[in-house]
Structure 1
Amino acid sequence: MRIRLLVFCLLLGLSFGGCDAKEPASAHRSEDKSAAAPMSEPSDYDRPRESAPEEEARAASAYEAGAERKYDGRPTVVDALNQKAPEKKSPIERMIVYTAMLRLAVHSPLEALAQIEGVVAELGGYVQSSTRTRRVVRVPSARYHEAVRKLKGLGVVRDFSQSSLDVTEEFQDVVARMDNLQALKKRYEELLVAAVNMEERLAIERELRRISTELRILEERRRALSDQAAYATLTIDVEAIAPFVAAIRSPQPFGWVRSYGLASLYQ
């Protein structure tokens, strides 16, 4: 009986000791788990919002530092501020060739021709050719209409015609062809230096002569177009106004002649 009681007490003590030993271990494991779990960062909503001056200061510093970050592949505000506005192309100045022909009736052709030369000189032009009754003059195109108005006022206008021709595209085409030929000429000159035999040198020199001829022709055309567009050409013819002579009727000797229709015989 005593032996059973002793065994029972021994088992009871061992059971209580095992429970006490398990509790600290489980506590340590829970503490380790809590320590191992990383702390989550505060979200954007949990963070304190910066004041307006602080945001402006941060944006200014980012701009000064040249920040170029992009969000979702789109340019930032800094990129938009740094972007230059597209340069506007200057409009092409049109090249207009003016020509006119004017015929005037005047009382004194010599005096009218002198007046024509005076008007042309006043407008900054010059006389290109002259005859006894004609003047071919050139005036700046910018003053063409003024020249026509003043010349018409020197006499009675018997006839007038004028025309205008836009040569802008032709002039640009000539200049472009000249640039291409100049580049081609430079290339042939380089090949001429590197040529190793006489046949190649002769072929290259032949091409250089052809290019030089084309360049000379184009240069003459370019100068002609430039001159025609810079100065208008006016041709003025003058003629004397015929004096008006009144018909003088002689008195009829007999009144009865009028009744027979013979008055014309006495005129």
Structure 2
Amino acid sequence: MALDQNSENTEASFGFTENKSSMENVEKQDQNSDNQAINSSTSLPSERMVIYNADIQLTVKNYEKARTELERKAAEIGGYLVEDTTNRYGEEQLSGMMVFRIPQQHFSSFLQSAEEAAAEVTNRHVSGQDVTEEFVDLESRLRSKKAVEARLQSFLEEAEKTEDLLKISSDLSKVQEEIEQLTGRMNYLQNQTAYSTVTITLEENSILVPGIDNKELNTWQKVKKQLVVNINWLLSFLSGSIVLIAGNLPIIILLALVIGIPLVILRKRRNVRNEEKK
């Protein structure tokens, strides 16, 4: 019986040691995944991944016409407008900025069309960022992380102890978070390389001359308006005067009596004195 008990303890200890050893191997694999990714990224694909950006400034004869034509051309080749700003100077001259996302295969042709439609190209700047190595490195890292994820999921299914379940779940969560970050970065690079950003600044070189507009004269209308304003003011004044007199009539009568009666008495006394003198 003692031998059987020792044998069971040994087997349990061996099982725990084997599980712990496997976990350490997975952790080592996760730590070395970045180095493996760097080593595997030495062979780059033949087609480079480049993010193109262009910034051009154009002088045009008709701003609205040029703006409409650029938007139409972008939609025609599968691009789209992401920003549109228009400014007006002195209600005559127009200028603005348009930002397009253009499929990379039509990048050069769109720039050429925009420049040909302009009266003058005042500034042109085109830049490219090669992200091929970064993308390949991300791919390798993603493969390594997914391998670690699969290994941890198998351990999670086989684990029986609560301590092991918590440890494996924590490691699995971290690996899945890293996988999401790598996937998000790869999607961003793919979108940036698939569509190029073109910023076009437009400025109109002609000043619009307004025509003669007799709508601003309207002499008779202005006379009638001024007459109505004066009549309304007069009616308002008369109405206010009537309200003032009628509303204060009791006070006016009282003041008249207070002041009038003494005056009448004084006048009668003066008349009596004058008769006596005669």
The TM-score normalised by the length of structure 1 is 0.55
Secondary structure of the residue that 2:173 maps to in structure 1? helix
Q: Which runs of 5+ in 2 are unaligned?
A: 1-42, 87-95, 210-278
Rounded Cα–Cα distance in structure 1 between residues aligned with 2:150 and 2:79? 40
1:217-236 map, 5 Å = 217-236=181-200
Tell me the amino acid that sits aligned with residue 124 of structure 1: G
Rounded Cα–Cα distance in structure 2 between residues aligned with 1:110 and 1:243? 13
Rounded Cα–Cα distance in structure 1 between residues aligned with 2:98 and 2:122? 16
Q: What is the deviation of 1:154?
A: 2.1
- Give the corresponding residue for 1:209: 173
CA contact (8 A) 2:145 2:175 kept: yes
Rounded Cα–Cα distance in structure 2 between residues aligned with 1:139 and 1:113? 16
CA contact (8 A) 2:44 2:132 kept: no
Q: Which runs of 4+ in 1 moved over 6 A?
A: none
- Give the corresponding residue for 2:59: 105
The TM-score normalised by the length of structure 2 is 0.53
Q: 1:146 to 1:218 in 2, by over 3 A?
A: same
Q: What is the deviation of 1:204?
A: 0.8
1:119-198 map, 5 Å = 119-132=73-86, 133-155=96-118, 156-198=120-162
Identity %: 31
Q: What is the deviation of 1:128?
A: 2.1
Rounded Cα–Cα distance in structure 1 between residues aligned with 2:46 and 2:158? 42
Rounded Cα–Cα distance in structure 2 between residues aligned with 1:108 and 1:186? 62
Q: 1:181 to 1:91 in 2, by over 3 A?
A: closer
Q: Which of the two has greater helix per residue?
A: 2
Q: Deviations over 1:14-53 (max 9, x none)?
A: xxxxxxxxxxxxxxxxxxxxxxxxxxxxxxxxxxxxxxxx
Rounded Cα–Cα distance in structure 1 between residues aligned with 2:165 and 2:183? 27
Secondary structure of the residue that 1:164 maps to in structure 2? strand
1:35-114 map, 5 Å = 92-114=46-68
Tell me the amino acid that sits aligned with residue 225 of structure 1: L
Rounded Cα–Cα distance in structure 1 between residues aligned with 2:64 and 2:166? 62
- Give the corresponding residue for 1:17: none
- Give the corresponding residue for 1:12: none
Q: Deviations over 1:47-79 (max 9, x none)?
A: xxxxxxxxxxxxxxxxxxxxxxxxxxxxxxxxx
Tell me the amino acid that sits aligned with residue 181 of structure 1: K
Rounded Cα–Cα distance in structure 1 between residues aligned with 2:53 and 2:194? 12
User: Highest CA radius of gyration, 1 or 2?
Assistant: 1
> Which structure has more RCO (C-alpha within 8 Å, separation ≥ 6)?
2
Secondary structure of the residue that 1:196 maps to in structure 2? coil
Secondary structure of the residue that 1:208 maps to in structure 2? helix
CA contact (8 A) 2:142 2:179 kept: yes
Q: How many residues align?
A: 157
Q: What is the deviation of 1:160?
A: 1.0
